[in-house]
């Protein structure tokens, strides 16, 4: 029987699993036990995964191939990071980057970010959330699939400490305006600065950013804080 209910559950991803290389597959096999936090319906025990208990706690949602994630973790060695990604090739690639760069402050959760926040991230526990270049779903009929929506913000907002920040970057102007409008209408978040084209020093250029700039797109860095 065909389902008539149009309500779609929130997902932080779309199933576009790329080819898993041997290098990535070997990393998943060899390094998962040490660097991947299993998805469980219980709070993340940060103290069991990181040695620096005074560090800021930062989660990145949808890290792709993980290059940016690794670079930021390398720059900000005094902070603790968890990267969430559902696609195995990216997980394997980031595992290799963790090992190559000897990153002790970065772990991975290989699962849907929405379910992770609903089940594993405690209230008032995070100092920051990063979301870099989420799928813009630029065709109007697909806008409803965009990650940044009021319901999604309501899912991640409780995990943020007071004065913590949410950093979203995109190179699609329409999506940037969508994100700004969504945040402006969300009670509890306030956009920190309207100077969207000034990139924070900790965020390196990404592959998607370079491609977008090559196509003539501007890159928007949208930072909001929890009031």
> How confident is the model over 139-175, as pLDDT tens digits?
999 999 999 999 999 999 999 999 999 999 999 999 9
Q: What is the pLDDT of residue 7?
A: 42
Task: Identify each DSSP E strand in the chain by its residue range.
Answer: 57-61, 80-84, 106-109, 126-132, 160-170, 189-191, 220-226
Q: Three-state DSSP class for 148? A: coil
The CA distance from 154 to 166, in Å, is: 13
Q: Three-state DSSP class for 22? A: helix
Contact 117, 94 (CB under 8 A): no
- Region of poorest pLDDT, from 12-21, 89-98, 123-132, 161-170: 12-21
Q: What is the pLDDT of residue 208?
A: 74
- For the chain, the residue count is 227
Contact 69, 203 (CB under 8 A): no
Neighbours of 176 (CB within 10 A): 22
Q: What is the DSSP letter of 76?
A: -
The candidate with the shortest Cα–Cα distance to 79, out of 97, 99, 62, 59, is 59
Is the dihedral angle over the CA atoms 79, 80, 85, 87 positive or is it negative? positive
Tokens representing residue 202 in the block: 């900790």
For the domain bounded by 53-226, which CATH number is listed? Answer: 3.40.50.150
Q: Three-state DSSP class for 80? A: strand
Summarize the confidence of residues 109-125 as an average pLDDT.
98
Q: What is the pLDDT of residue 15?
A: 52
Q: What is the pLDDT of residue 212?
A: 81
Q: What is the pLDDT of residue 5?
A: 43
Q: Per-residue pLDDT tens for 183-227?
A: 999 999 999 999 999 999 999 988 778 888 888 889 999 999 999
Active site residues: 135
Q: What is the pLDDT of residue 206?
A: 81
Residue 74 has pLDDT above 90, yes or no: yes
Average pLDDT across the chain, whole number: 92
Residue 4 has pLDDT above 50, yes or no: no
Residue 18 has pLDDT above 50, yes or no: yes
Q: What is the pLDDT of residue 109?
A: 98
The CA distance from 180 to 40, in Å, is: 33
The CA distance from 116 to 73, in Å, is: 20
Summarize the confidence of residues 97-114 as an average pLDDT.
98
The CA distance from 220 to 177, in Å, is: 10
Q: What is the pLDDT of residue 8?
A: 46
Tokens representing residue 92 in the block: 């394997």
Residue 6 has pLDDT above 50, yes or no: no
Q: What is the pLDDT of residue 2?
A: 38
The CA distance from 3 to 113, in Å, is: 26
The domain ranges of the chain are: 53-226
Residue 1 has pLDDT above 50, yes or no: no
Estimate the share of the chain in helix, then strand, then coil, as percent rounded to the nearest 5. Answer: 35, 20, 45
Q: What is the pLDDT of residue 93?
A: 98
Residue 3 has pLDDT above 80, yes or no: no
Q: Residue 16, exposed/middle/buried by CB under 10 A (0-12, 13-18, 19+)?
A: exposed
């Amino acid at each position: 029987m065909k389902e008539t209910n149009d309500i779609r559950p929130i997902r932080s991803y779309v199933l576009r699993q790329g080819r898993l290389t041997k290098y990535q597959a070997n990393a998943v096999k060899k390094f998962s036990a040490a660097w991947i936090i299993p998805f469980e319906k219980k709070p993340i025990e940060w103290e069991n995964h990181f040695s620096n208990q005074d560090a800021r706690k930062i989660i990145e949602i949808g890290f792709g191939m993980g290059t940016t994630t690794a670079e930021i973790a390398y720059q900000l060695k005094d902070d603790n990071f968890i990267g969430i990604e559902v696609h195995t090739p990216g997980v394997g690639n980031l595992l290799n980057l963790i090992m190559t760069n000897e990153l002790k402050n970065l772990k991975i959760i290989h699962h849907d970010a929405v379910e992770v926040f609903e089940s594993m991230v405690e209230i008032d526990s995070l100092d920051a959330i990063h979301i870099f270049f989420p799928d813009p779903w630029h065709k109007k009929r697909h806008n409803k699939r965009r990650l940044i929506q009021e319901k999604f913000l309501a899912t991640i907002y409780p995990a943020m400490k007071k004065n913590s920040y949410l950093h979203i970057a995109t190179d699609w102007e329409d999506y940037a305006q969508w994100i700004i409008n969504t945040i402006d209408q969300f009670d509890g978040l306030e956009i920190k600065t309207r100077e969207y084209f000034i990139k924070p020093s900790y965020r390196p250029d990404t592959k998607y950013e370079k491609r977008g700039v090559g196509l003539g797109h501007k890159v928007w860095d949208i930072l909001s804080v929890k009031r």
